[in-house]
């Protein structure tokens, strides 16, 4: 479960996320929709522990993401990178452990 309470992020005089509260039940696939600059990426960065909230809190399964022993086994994200006008490409799932390899991007397949 992901729970945000009063989640706020301020950069200088700009409020990127203002007092957001929500709960996502375990096992639910959830996405954020909104215009550019609405705070979707900032909210995800706070959930994942990449940015600290200016105020409020967010937990994943009852703990801040960074306090989990194996956080990537409990939560996954799919974010958009690059220009919104570029085609979206699916990436293979990350592999962990000694057999992890660096996948190389492949061009389109011919059938």
Helix, strand, or coil here: 66?
helix
pLDDT value, residue 94: 55
Q: For residue 21, is pLDDT > 90?
A: yes
Q: For residue 16, is pLDDT > 80?
A: yes
pLDDT value, residue 66: 81
pTM of the model: 0.66
**Does residue 46 contact residue 9 with C-beta atoms inside 8 Å?**
yes
Q: For residue 93, is pLDDT > 60?
A: no
**Does residue 30 contact residue 23 with C-beta atoms inside 8 Å?**
no
Q: For residue 19, is pLDDT > 60?
A: yes
Q: Where are the alpha helices (DSSP H) in 38-91?
A: 40-47
């Amino acid at each position: 479960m992901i729970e945000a309470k009063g989640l706020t992020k301020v950069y200088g005089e700009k409020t990127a996320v203002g007092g957001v509260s929500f709960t996502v039940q375990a096992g639910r696939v959830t996405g954020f929709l909104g215009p550019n600059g609405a705070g979707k990426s900032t909210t995800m960065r706070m959930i994942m522990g990449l940015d600290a909230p200016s105020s409020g809190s967010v937990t994943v399964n009852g703990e801040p993401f960074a306090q989990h022993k194996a956080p990537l086994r409990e939560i996954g994200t799919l974010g958009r990178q690059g220009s919104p006008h570029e085609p979206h490409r699916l990436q293979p799932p990350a592999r962990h452990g000694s057999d992890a390899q660096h996948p190389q991007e492949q061009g389109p397949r011919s059938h």
